[in-house]
């Protein structure tokens, strides 16, 4: 039985009596008392001793004290943490469920009053009326743009500009979509110049989509810069005149007090009706202007009476009588209001400007 004597005999573990603390509790209390003493000895910056985990199977004798700062930090982290997305949040909202935002109210933009001067009969003072009425508007403090839509370029020449020498003209605007601001020249009033090239514009525009609105689109660039835009048209009812009537809000019809000129007015009315039905329902005749009136002849008086009987209030009260000043002024490259400001000829167009402005304010 010698090998039995060499065997290690197990030492019995004495159980704690009632009222006595377990030895492990005494060791934990001793360690807790030693930790603050060590901190005081090493200073406040010394790292804290790692907590000692209790042995497995033993219950924690004392709950760990959580610092207040840590609790506050954890609460803030929970508040900042974003909510989890749900599948419905990732789907695009229904257009019916979306909130309808009312568009912000925009300040009304002032647009120029576009006036076309038209009559398919030539020699009725369209160019003279366009220029001198525009200058009379400018004298009243309005911003005015003249557009020379006649390939003959008479309005351009009446302001001292040679249409054969201009590099860019309305042809480039209507055919090549050049900005109209690039062809405007400053004289007594601003003028969009013409050239002989404009005679080929109708053929060049024949395959262009929306060709009837080419001038209307071009004017949008400068519409807010002027109060009035006055358009001089060629003596025909072709594509250039249709562009003018489509862009215009009002039409002034100069009519020479003769039978043939009055016959052209009927044809213009038919064309204007087609424009209203298909292109520009807002265009209307502002008035019919008797021009080149020779009050000494019975025929002229009868012509005015026929106009008033057939068109009533559409006939302007103003009368443009014959005067040599109208022929002399273009030679000087000026309007009659600048060439001879005190003449009766200048007074005719000042009276007309007052009448048109009265219609505007009415």
Digit-coded pLDDT (tens) for 104-120: 555 556 688 999 999 98
pLDDT score of 30 more than 80: no
CA distance 316 to 290: 8
CA distance 307 to 291: 12
57 occurs within a structural domain = no
Q: Quick one: pLDDT at residue 28?
A: 66
pLDDT top residue among 108 and 186: 186
CA distance 178 to 158: 24
pLDDT score of 211 more than 60: yes
The token pair at 33 is: 């008392």
Q: Which pLDDT tens digit goes with each residue over 61-105?
A: 444 455 565 555 555 555 555 555 555 554 445 544 445 556 555
Q: Quick one: pLDDT at residue 328?
A: 95
Element (H, E) at 41: helix 23-42
pLDDT score of 221 more than 70: yes
Q: Quick one: pLDDT at residue 359?
A: 87
Which residue range forms the structural domain that includes residue 128? 113-361
34 occurs within a structural domain = no
CB contact set of 64 (below 8 Å; sequence gap of 6+): 51
pLDDT score of 38 more than 60: no
Element (H, E) at 291: strand 284-291
Q: Which pLDDT tens digit goes with each residue over 244-294?
A: 999 999 999 999 888 777 777 888 888 899 999 999 999 999 999 999 998
Total number of domains in the chain = 1
* Maximal C-alpha separation, the chain: 169
CA distance 81 to 45: 32
Check which CATH number belongs to the domain holding 340 and give it: 3.40.50.300
CA distance 204 to 202: 6
CA dist 54 → 48, 57, 152 (Å): 18, 9, 111
106 occurs within a structural domain = no
b (16+ CB within 10 A) / e for 35-49: eeeeeeeeeeeeeee
Reported pTM: 0.70
């Amino acid at each position: 039985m010698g090998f039995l004597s060499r065997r290690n005999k197990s030492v019995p573990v004495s159980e704690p009596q009632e009222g006595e603390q377990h030895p492990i509790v005494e060791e934990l209390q001793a360690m807790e008392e030693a930790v603050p003493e060590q901190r005081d000895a090493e200073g406040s910056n010394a790292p804290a001793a790692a907590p000692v985990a209790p042995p497995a199977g033993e219950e924690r004798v004392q709950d760990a004290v959580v610092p207040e700062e840590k609790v506050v930090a954890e609460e803030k982290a929970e508040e900042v943490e974003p909510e989890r997305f749900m599948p419905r949040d990732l789907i695009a909202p229904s257009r019916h469920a979306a909130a309808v935002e009312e568009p912000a109210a925009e300040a009304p933009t002032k647009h120029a009053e576009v006036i076309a001067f038209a009559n398919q009969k030539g020699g009725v003072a369209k160019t003279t009326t366009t220029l001198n009425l525009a200058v009379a508007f400018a004298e009243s403090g309005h911003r005015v743009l003249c557009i020379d839509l006649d390939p003959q370029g008479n309005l351009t020449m009446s302001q001292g500009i040679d249409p054969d020498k201009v590099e860019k003209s309305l042809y480039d605007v209507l055919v090549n979509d050049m900005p109209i601001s690039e062809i405007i020249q400053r004289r007594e009033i601003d003028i969009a110049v013409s050239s002989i090239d404009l005679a080929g514009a109708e053929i060049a525009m024949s395959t262009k989509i929306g060709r009837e609105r080419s001038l209307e689109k071009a004017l949008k660039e400068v519409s807010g810069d002027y109060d009035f835009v006055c358009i001089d048209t060629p003596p025909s009812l072709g594509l250039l005149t249709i562009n003018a009537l489509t862009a215009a809000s009002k039409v002034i019809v100069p009519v020479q007090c003769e039978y043939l000129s009055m016959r052209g007015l009927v044809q213009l009315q038919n064309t204007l009706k087609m424009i209203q039905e298909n292109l520009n329902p807002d265009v209307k005749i502002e008035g019919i202007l008797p021009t080149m009136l020779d009050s000494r002849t019975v025929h002229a008086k009868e012509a005015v009476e026929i106009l008033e009987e057939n068109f009533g209030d559409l006939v302007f009260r103003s009368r443009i009588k014959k005067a040599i000043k109208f022929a002399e002024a273009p030679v000087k490259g000026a309007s009659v209001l600048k060439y001879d400001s005190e003449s009766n000829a200048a007074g005719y167009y000042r009276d007309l400007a007052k009448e048109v402005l009265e219609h505007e304010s009415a």
